[in-house]
Structure 1
């Protein structure tokens, strides 16, 4: 007697039982496949969900329909499924149709660290304030590049123009910035660059400050930058501070970048990651022994958390008193630095400090809060600036989840589609914290909506993995995150909605909105 056909299930004659179909149910636009379907018919079924998502968004989210609904219903748009925000829906549409630019491959090493910073550059016409792009690679090289609008070519340094690589059929616009540098802006460190962080980068904390004071405060907080090297068999990891208080010149032939780098401390362990607090006085580093706290003013250091697993990701919260740490064993731990802990060592010196780690078998410090757990090694942690209770975490099995620090026993949101098996792939959120971006080991770049977990963009923009992501902050945060895109614009192109840097082993990329 042949088994009956059940909607949504297929019968396996070997195991003699029914199994759920993961494909669309019978009667939908795409028929599902069973276990007896050939491998040739399975290939369209694998790629069809991605194509289906893209077509559905274009059908439901046309700009004309959005504007019409806004005029009728106001800012909140209602549909059969959910009530959504007009501004957020426009950002999704823009994120689904980006442009991607690529810079000269041999001149940009950005496969391990990438950060956009502020500085003052000495030119032939005088001093100008501009944005700078600091990048580092596994080849122990750190470099600094100036960022200028593509319509204005600089008369100092070597100018690098970008090339449009995706979409190939779209007419090119002058939306991507030009970069300029010279041989004096490259420095070789003793080991691979593990991360670059701005010191005092939490600009949203200046919401209640007067505009003139806020502008001066932002300039002050972003002049120092922290650089860490991974360490090697010859030497341990090192923490540096890149000081840009003095004007930087791209016209000199001497290695001027050396004069701006100061060694803070070294250690006999591997430094995987680091982050600095919002006030710029302290920093933490994640090592193969745990987490260490560094006083950037005095140079004193202390081990605040021991772990048998490597600490691969870190980020401070808004207060600067709690640091989120992603561990190789899958745990995401919130460490309160105000708690009194037994310090394994402490050094007070303004000179470069040598941190000695205990070589006995380390044990986990018991003075830590409850942790959230992921299914694999944690490779990235992002604290949402709009609400300190929420943070994003990604693991090396491709999982991306949103957690609430008040309920850590279970994730409140999951983002499907990312591909990863062993790489340290970074997450990045746009300044309004409505979108999250990540590269995958399948060479795809994906963008999700943080609120709805909807996959709004998924394309192979280049045949290389994008492990490093830098989504810089722009504009005035005094209006709040909801009004950010009305008052904050990309300095590279006034009509551009957003822009993000992507670092890879094959060069530097820049993705921008239409």
Structure 2
């Protein structure tokens, strides 16, 4: 007689119950060949529980000590103070007298981080934007023929970006008054960066706008003079661009939003209107009845000379500044950003829906939106579009903080620039292809600079003032601030102050800076 084997019997039972891992008889459970009996399994379970408890207790104690030193676990309704190493109860955030609200604690943490970054920026030696990147190493590689000239120039600019330091500029006026009493809202430089159009908030409501003139001296200093002819309005300025009517950047195009009984309009103002030298001949001054315009752009293509566009709610309007000829395109969303290409008369538009489309001005308006030359989408509302000199590539930023470089020939993104911060603000982006840089100010009030070629984040510059929705900096970056022989660097306007971040190390060194043409001086902060 063959002796019965438990595993063989279990194997037959398993074959009989094809596809079933367990089978039942009454209320008793049979165990597979990998399972032990109930008594053995119970003892094994007790042993495993004891070992697991020992391991978990040791690991929990280690993790607790690590979290206490680094970051404690977040408990609902409590705040962990790392200095006192204990938890505190959070009270409702609507109580203004309560210092322990989540929003206030986050603001305090951001302010601590900002001050820490400001201290780091004041140090003479800063961290290189890339590992192992310095001027001497780049020069050595170039002399050995290991680095092309174009790559060498681009990497040298990246090294200079990491060495920029903040200097405060004193704004002068002809009557020696102090013009910097109102907060800056927006600054836009002309193509030569000799003039910067400014919009300032006024304390009693509305805003004022004017022009600042920049000039550089042979000693390497930058001077700023505010034109005396400032203009006030109770309407909000939504968008600004320089316009070339009589000569390059001869006029300024403003989109004014209506307030109460005052209707909105688009104004074309000559730059000489703000000058003190020829107030009798200001040039062509126009005002167009276009209400609630979100964006505007000026066409520099000679085929459509003196033509500008405005983006409105579900409409795009093209208008000739002299003849007044108008062409209207109906779209499905608000047009928040616009820019013309130069070599071909094509207008690129960015919408609140995230759609980006182009209009070829050589084609007449058609129905069913077949006039759209190309179209593609991002995930959120488009706040800024910039066409590169190649004109086959377009930069677009949206309200999710995404900045993408698009190849318009295949309508696909080829590069993404990470780190930008935006949730709901209408923020522009800035490109300097000569230096190979992309710049953007985030809603967190940090100015970030990326390498345009590979998307590497080169530097993050904190605001000199605490972060707030009404103190987001406005910037201008140019290789020639003050004219063709000007100084390269970054201009930042925040609150009522104007700051300059120069490339030149000679500008940074020394205590008192040489005075400029108008007697202005720079202060190192």
Aligned counterpart, 2:426: 424
Tell me the distance in 2 between the aligned counterparts of 1:73 and 1:117. Answer: 35
Q: Are the structure 2 counterparts of residues 261 and 101 from structure 1 closer, same or farther at C-alpha, using a change threshold of 3 Å?
A: farther
Offset from partner CA, 1:355-382 (integer Å, 9 cap, x none) = xxxxxxxxx8342133221121111111
- Trace 1:273-422 onto structure 2 (pairs within 5 A): 273-278=295-300, 279=302, 280-304=305-329, 306-341=330-365, 365-385=369-389, 387-408=390-411, 410-422=412-424
RMSD: 3.7
What secondary structure does 1:370 align onto? strand
Tell me the distance in 2 between the aligned counterparts of 1:327 and 1:66. Answer: 43
Aligned counterpart, 1:468: 474
Q: Higher helix proportion, which one?
A: 2
Contact 1:341 1:367 in 2 (8 A): yes
What secondary structure does 1:411 align onto? strand
Contact 1:112 1:195 in 2 (8 A): no
Aligned counterpart, 2:165: 99
Offset from partner CA, 1:304-351 (integer Å, 9 cap, x none) = 2x23422111110123511111111111111112221159xxxxxxxx
- Trace 1:62-461 onto structure 2 (pairs within 5 A): 62-73=134-145, 75-76=147-148, 85-103=151-169, 106-107=180-181, 109-116=183-190, 131-137=194-200, 139-149=206-216, 177-182=222-227, 184-200=228-244, 220-244=247-271, 248-249=275-276, 256=279, 259=282, 262-267=285-290, 269-278=291-300, 279=302, 280-304=305-329, 306-341=330-365, 365-385=369-389, 387-408=390-411, 410-432=412-434, 434-461=436-463
TM-score (norm 1): 0.65
TM-score (norm 2): 0.63
Offset from partner CA, 1:163-192 (integer Å, 9 cap, x none) = xxxxxxxxxxx755222235x421013512
Offset from partner CA, 1:370-426 (integer Å, 9 cap, x none) = 3221121111111101x1100111111111110000121x31101111111111111
**What is the count of residue pairs matched by the alignment?**
379
Offset from partner CA, 1:113-157 (integer Å, 9 cap, x none) = 523367xxxxxxxxxxx9222112453311122222367xxxxxx
Tell me the distance in 2 between the aligned counterparts of 1:332 and 1:176. Answer: 42
Tell me the distance in 1 between the aligned counterparts of 2:66 and 2:331. Answer: 48
Query: Is 1:41 the equivalent of 2:107?
Result: no
Contact 1:426 1:469 in 2 (8 A): no
| Cα offset, 1:231, TM superposition | 2.8
| Cα offset, 1:446, TM superposition | 0.5
Tell me the distance in 2 between the aligned counterparts of 1:65 and 1:178. Answer: 35
Q: Are the structure 2 counterparts of residues 132 and 117 from structure 1 closer, same or farther at C-alpha, using a change threshold of 3 Å?
A: farther
Q: Are the structure 2 counterparts of residues 34 and 381 from structure 1 closer, same or farther at C-alpha, using a change threshold of 3 Å?
A: farther
Q: Are the structure 2 counterparts of residues 85 and 140 from structure 1 closer, same or farther at C-alpha, using a change threshold of 3 Å?
A: same
Aligned counterpart, 2:175: none
